[in-house]
């Protein structure tokens, strides 16, 4: 994918989460079952970096569970960060504005982490080269023995969500300019919006892991009525 198209798709995603951040937050008041499964495995002492932290619901769940380790959440959406920061003035959580597609996003966090999370994040990152750069940085942010745990939206596993797929021409983009697996989905709450989403399969994620010096330790599906709307993986650095 050409760099100009990567920039255009990133801008489309940023515009969506800036415009519909509050509406999106109102639909994310509870964590997905797959995320809860991941949190169930924590010991309460891990240091956590949460990429694409959104409205901070994961941090609130950690607090409810009595998690003692430090937590840092990153997101580029000001509306979502405003919701995330509310009520945390004296709590042990840090929320930072950062764009994962920028060259220096890793500089806003200090040290390394036991766990790096990226739930429903990578599917909004266009272009193999852009994804690879982000994953390489994540590798450096993990402590020895640390884990990168992430999920990707499997919207094609839902007949209801398939009808949300829109032609690229809706965004003024030629279908030939995007990569296989790239889709344009609409949003209908509080107005009409458009989002870029990449549909990953296990083979593509396996290749990404190997290229960024990770080993896939575990894969599982969760979420939604059919239990297959989220593809979760646990990676360890090698």
Lowest-pLDDT range, 22-31, 181-190, 217-226? 22-31
Helix (H, G, I), strand (E, B) or coil at 58: helix
| Ramachandran class of 231: left when φ > 0, alpha when ψ lies in -120 to 50, beta otherwise | beta
Q: Are 115 and 147 in contact (CB under 8 A)?
A: yes
Domain boundaries, the chain: 3-237
Q: What is the pLDDT of residue 12?
A: 94
Q: What DSSP string runs through 73-124?
A: EEES-HHHHHHHHTT-TTSSEEEEE--TTSTTGGGGS-S-EEEEEEET-GGG
Retrieve residue 183's tokens: 């889709």
- CA–CA gap between residue 40 and residue 65 (Å, rounded): 9
Joined together, the tokens standing for residue 191 give: 């107005």
40 contact partners, CB below 8 Å, separation of at least 6: none
- Residue 91: predicted pLDDT: 60
Domain 3-237 grouped into CATH 3.40.50.150: yes
Under 8 Å between Cβ of 65 and 45: no
Q: Using CB atoms within 10 Å of the CB of residue 52, give its burial: 0 to 12 exposed, 13 to 18 middle, 19+ buried.
A: buried
pLDDT at residue number 224:
93
pLDDT tens for 143-164 read 999 999 999 999 999 999 999 9
Q: Across all residues in the chain, what is the average pLDDT? A: 93
pLDDT in tens, 186-234: 998 888 899 999 999 999 999 999 999 999 999 999 999 899 999 999 9
Is the pLDDT reported for residue 89 higher than 70?
Answer: no
């Amino acid at each position: 994918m050409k760099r100009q198209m990567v920039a255009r798709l990133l801008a489309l995603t940023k515009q969506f989460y800036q415009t519909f951040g509050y509406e999106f937050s109102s639909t994310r008041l509870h964590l997905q079952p797959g995320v809860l499964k991941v949190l169930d495995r924590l010991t309460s002492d891990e240091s956590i970096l949460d990429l694409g932290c959104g409205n901070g619901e994961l941090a609130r769940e950690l607090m409810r569970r009595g998690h003692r380790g430090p937590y840092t959440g990153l997101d580029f959406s000001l509306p979502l960060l405003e919701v995330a920061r509310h009520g945390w003035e004296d709590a042990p959580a840090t929320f930072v504005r950062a764009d994962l597609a920028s060259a220096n996003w890793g500089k806003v966090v200090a040290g390394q982490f036991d766990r790096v999370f990226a739930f429903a994040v990578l599917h909004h990152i266009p272009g193999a080269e852009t994804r690879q750069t982000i994953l390489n940085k994540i590798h450096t942010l993990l402590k020895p023995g640390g884990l990168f745990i992430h999920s990707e939206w499997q919207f094609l596993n839902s007949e209801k969500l398939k009808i949300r797929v829109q032609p690229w021409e809706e965004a003024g983009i030629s279908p030939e300019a995007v990569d296989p697996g790239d889709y344009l989905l609409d949003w209908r709450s509080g107005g009409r919006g458009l989002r870029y989403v990449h549909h990953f399969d296990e083979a593509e994620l396996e290749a990404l892991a190997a290229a960024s010096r990770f080993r896939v330790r575990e894969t599982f599906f969760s979420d939604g009525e059919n239990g297959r709307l989220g593809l979760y993986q646990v990676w360890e650095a090698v």
